A and B are shown apart, each in its own frame.
Chain A
Amino acid sequence: MLLGLGSIETALPYWLCIISTIGCIGYGIKNWNNSGTPDTVNIESLVQEGTDN
């Protein structure tokens, strides 16, 4: 578990880096197409507004 590292103080973050990245990958895959609740504002209209400037 320590992977040859000298203490839990260094082995723990080593593992946590890998585990948290795997967790983030899992989160990304699980929510790959999840857009959440639709926006109440239309982005197109804001972009159009900006064009006028």
Chain B
Amino acid sequence: MNCWSCQKAVGPEDVFCPACRVLQPEPPGADLFSALGLSRGYDIDPDDLEARFRARSRQLHPDRFARASARERRLSLERTTRLNDAYRTLKDVRRRAAYLLKLLGKDPVVEARTLHDPEFLEEQLELREMLALAREKSDQRTLALIATGARDRLAAIDEEVARLFAEADPGEEALLSIVSALARSRYFENVVAEADPTAPPAQPR
């Protein structure tokens, strides 16, 4: 690739042209991982992710380009928008998993439609009945128990997903297990949101 401004060669990792220091567009085909300088993968250290987000923000943010050329301002806006999207997606483990599945050709929403798990649904119905009753009676103790239980289940799901992604080359079966785990996590997220008014709102995927 060549710099749009001075035409000198620019590498795919170069945010700025090494010759003229002008901001470059994101290389074609880059995913959200590369927006943060990461290679594609589920295992991400949250502190490292946050540090990368801050470092990239310092480089790309429109505040640094208020006096720059129109083209650089536009690139800064585009790249920062993308960076924010990447950080939002990757910092949440389940959104990250859903995004990875999409990159691997499995749309978690579409795939989940074909899942049938009557046992799980039965359990959910019972749980929701308990939840409704506790909410009606403002039974804080039971609500707290339900929330804790759902959080434990979410933690177990997250562990399962991490284990499946850690397999050398997750096959069709492993990917479908992840789809199923993420679909189940959605139910527990809703339970937490309803049982614990102090929980932050669940993020869409």
- Say whether A and B bind each other: no
**Which residues of A does B touch, CB under 8 Å?**
none
